[in-house]
Structure 1
Amino acid sequence: MKWYGSQPLAVQLAWRFRRSKGQSGFVSFISASSTVGIALGCFVMILLLSVMNGFERELKDRLLAVLPHGELIAVSNQGMQDWQQQIARLSKDERIAYLAPITKMTAMVQTAGRMKAVEVTGVSTDYLSQSRLARLTTDTQWRGFASQPNAILLGKGVLDKLDVKVGEKVQLLMPQQGDEQHFSAPESVWFEVAGQVSIGGELDNHLALVHLQKASEILGVQSGAQGLEFGFADPYQAPYLMREFGFAFEQHVYISDWTRTHGHLYQDIQLVRMVVYLALTLLIAVACFNIVSTLVMAVNEKRREIAMLKTLGARDGLIIRVFMLQGLFNGLIGTAIGVSLGALAALELSTLAVWLEAVTGSRLLSGDIYFIDFLPSQLEPTEVAVVALIAMGLSTLATLYPAVKAARIEPAKVLGH
């Protein structure tokens, strides 16, 4: 081959040994299986990591865009004192994206003999009209909610469970405030359904929003707000920032952040990511063991050629480079194929998932269970580079033993036989 003339001697010899016609079929099969194994490991690792990146992106852009990142709830039944001044003071912090007063309670929604437990949050339209909750429903329904003191917004799952339409009235049942040692009839308040809110997944089955003033009045919160909810520019900093603000707060408060209520989603993503790295790195390592087997058998087959090279003056370093390069060819080809196919599949995974759902007639992710109803994917170039480095690193390590073994061959013993 003419192009050999411009290549280093080690590369020429490695390529000739790899393409040698005298190589046994079994060695060729083991060599091909190592290439396929490395390609498969890289392909699957890139694909699964892209899916985990997609879930993390959707968690941040979809779920954390509408859920409060943290809450400070007053310990006292009187509520949060001077919460207007606290909002004005804390809003100067650039790390805070928004602040709003809230009052929370647990209640039962009843209509036509059907009941559903809900988590009721009293919100102020003055603070949230341009923030997260305004994006959970239509503009018309939001304006209708803002204009009616006795309006309520219910989660999509709650409306479906109760079979309630927008404009109908529902009864909110809450335990009596006061003496907890005696049982008493629940407190009842009628609300008109102004619209539905939809976040996705299980959250829609328990969500209810009413006006802050109404909720505080029902609970007897004298200050007008039970606490404050926070939204941060970086939601992943919420645990640290909430402790910072909570410990410095003048009033005794309960501190909470989204990692306490929905942190399992993020932790699951990180756990799966770690398992993917570990399991598929081991898969690539197993494939690299085939490189060891291939090179060991290749060394045994090329003992005469190695002896002749050493007789002609080839040093041990050249022999080691030759067989390391021969093994690295397998790793390089497998890595290139796996990384290329993995990147292409990751870029088109969402489209392929939609096509697969259309063909099979079933959904891969149900919106009633998960916070999204499609398969997300986000390819990160840095992770592609890491996968390629892992594969090439393991391939390099796999070539060391056979290459050193080849360099230790003694020409006199081999040529003497």
Structure 2
Amino acid sequence: MHLAWILAWRFRTNKRQNGFISFISASSTFGIGLGCFVLILLLSVMNGFEKELKDRLLSVIPHAEFKSVYASGIENWPAEVEALKLHPEVTFVEPYVNATGMLQKGNKMKAVEMTALEPLYAADGVIPSLVTSQQWLQFQTDENATMLGIGLMQKLDLVVGDKVQILLPQLSEDLSLSAPKTLRLNIIASLDMGGELSNHIGFMHMSLAAQTQNIHHGAQGIRLRYRDAFAAPKLTREIGYKLTPEVYMSDWTIKDGNLYQDIQLVRAVVYIALSLVIAVACFNIVSTLVMAVNEKQSEIAMLKSMGAKNSLIILVFMLQGSFNGLIGTIVGVTLGILMATNLAAVARFIEDLLGVQFLSGDVYFIDFLPSELNWNEVYITALIAIILSVLATLYPAIKAAKINPAKVLGH
């Protein structure tokens, strides 16, 4: 084995080696390193988006909603809320009323999706953490208080302390639209929930919304969050089928799941595409070794005439080719790890340097480039690159072992 290492290294570093062979060898090393680097970096970005989606967006929006099929709302909803709190996978439960209408300030109007909350139940949720304790206390005591998304307030030129009108559509008994009801609300806080969500959402009192929309039982539905947000589709159906009232079931993947699905799709495409890039770079190892074998036929013949076994010749050229894959993998993985762990700072530096912004907070739920390094993906990437590199050496190495010393030296 020691002899095989010495011979492989000498064959690789031979100064008389053909320049074209050296170029192909270097290009294979570069290709493998580049593939590993980009694959680790992009997978880390996808992991970062998934983490931010879970920590930011899914911490604000409900994971599941159970909405009454009747206009009167959910009968005896406090008992249903208390029963759902006992479920081991549920971390938060609250009643709600949805009130979609038009927000008006002067001659400006904007569509708004108001979620009406019961302060007693919402106190354990995320909303209180988005405002000051004084603002939350004001929301609890003032039935006409409202909290609006910061993007919505900017579009209507609103500030905290303003009074605003909201027009809520009304349905008559024959289900036709009648004159909307107008409510005057006091803006006590602005909410920055990231991305498009801040451009159309607001919160108000459940009792006021229920009264305005003739929801006699007080709550239109119940919404909750789970320990594992990604288990929402399965858990929502399991819980919904066991509820006493008749409800429509919905989970976050129906409204906002397209973002998560896009992340998973991009992750799969990136993995396949860059694995193929690494595979193509490994094919260059085949070309390099085939040319090296043809160039060193006399040396191989001399080794075999001195008693070298076929297994030694095969091992020598496998090691020589594997050096390319090993060096490329080590360099690519190292650079990938360094870049992935410092991506946010690097991206911010480039943004400041070029005067551009990669992600706009008005469009996306974050305004920076996230990154989350997954060590299992690093190990898998390195393993794939090394395995492909070793497999690429088999054909040239076996071809070298089949060289006939008598035929080569006879010429």
On whether the aligned pair clears a TM of 0.5, the verdict is yes
Does 2:213 align with 1:219? Answer: yes
Match of residue 91 from structure 1: 85
Does 2:180 align with 1:193? Answer: no
Asked if the contact 1:201/1:368 (under 8 Å) is kept, the reply is yes
Q: Distance in 2 between matches of 1:183 and 1:210?
A: 23
Rate the CA distance shift 1:254–1:313 in 2: closer, same or farther, 3 A. same
Name the SS of the counterpart of 1:93 in structure 2.
Answer: coil
Letter in structure 2 aligned against 1:151: A
Task: Give the percent of matched residue pairs that are identical in Structure 1 and Structure 2.
Answer: 54
Match of residue 338 from structure 1: 332
Name the SS of the counterpart of 2:244 in structure 1.
Answer: coil
- Out of 75, 81, 91, the residue aligned to residue 75 of structure 2 is 81
Q: Distance in 2 between matches of 1:277 and 1:288?
A: 16
- Out of 142, 146, 158, the residue aligned to residue 148 of structure 1 is 142
Asked if the contact 1:66/1:136 (under 8 Å) is kept, the reply is no
Letter in structure 1 aligned against 2:209: A
Match of residue 265 from structure 1: 259
Name the SS of the counterpart of 1:176 in structure 2.
Answer: strand
Asked if the contact 1:67/1:132 (under 8 Å) is kept, the reply is no
* Alignment TM-score, normalising by the size of structure 1: 0.96
Query: Can you list the C-alpha shifts for 1:37-85, whole angstroms capped at 9, x where unaligned?
Result: 1111111111111111111111111111111111010101111121111
Letter in structure 2 aligned against 1:229: R
Does 2:282 align with 1:288? Answer: yes
Asked if the contact 2:94/2:118 (under 8 Å) is kept, the reply is yes
Match of residue 172 from structure 2: 178
- Out of 365, 378, 395, the residue aligned to residue 389 of structure 2 is 395
Q: CA deviation at 1:130?
A: 2.7
Q: Distance in 1 between matches of 2:381 and 2:175?
A: 62
Q: Distance in 2 between matches of 1:90 and 1:36?
A: 57
Match of residue 376 from structure 1: 370
Rate the CA distance shift 1:271–1:327 in 2: closer, same or farther, 3 A. same
Asked if the contact 2:172/2:178 (under 8 Å) is kept, the reply is no
4+ aligned runs moved over 4 Å, structure 1: 180-183
Q: Distance in 1 between matches of 2:226 and 2:209?
A: 25
Query: Can you list the C-alpha shifts for 1:195-226, whole angstroms capped at 9, x where unaligned?
Result: 11121101111101111111111111111101
Letter in structure 2 aligned against 1:276: V
- Out of 232, 241, 249, the residue aligned to residue 247 of structure 1 is 241
Name the SS of the counterpart of 1:104 in structure 2.
Answer: strand
Does 2:397 align with 1:411? Answer: no
Match of residue 42 from structure 1: 36
Instruction: Give the alignment of 1:225-244 within 5 angstroms.
Output: 225-244=219-238
Name the SS of the counterpart of 1:119 in structure 2.
Answer: strand
Letter in structure 2 aligned against 1:412: A
Match of residue 319 from structure 1: 313
- Out of 106, 131, 134, the residue aligned to residue 100 of structure 2 is 106
Match of residue 63 from structure 2: 69
- Out of 114, 117, 120, the residue aligned to residue 111 of structure 2 is 117
Query: For this pair of structures, how many residues does the alignment match?
Result: 411
Q: Distance in 2 between matches of 1:363 and 1:170?
A: 33
Q: CA deviation at 1:135?
A: 2.1
Rate the CA distance shift 1:160–1:276 in 2: closer, same or farther, 3 A. same
Match of residue 3 from structure 1: none
* Alignment TM-score, normalising by the size of structure 2: 0.97
Match of residue 12 from structure 1: 6
Letter in structure 1 aligned against 2:408: V
Structure 1, unpaired ranges of 5+: 1-6
Asked if the contact 2:171/2:177 (under 8 Å) is kept, the reply is no
Asked if the contact 1:38/1:335 (under 8 Å) is kept, the reply is yes
Does 2:293 align with 1:299? Answer: yes
Q: Distance in 1 between matches of 2:95 and 2:330?
A: 55
Letter in structure 2 aligned against 1:196: S
Letter in structure 2 aligned against 1:289: F
Name the SS of the counterpart of 2:219 in structure 1.
Answer: coil
Tell which deviates more after alignment, 19-28 or 176-185: 176-185
Does 2:269 align with 1:275? Answer: yes
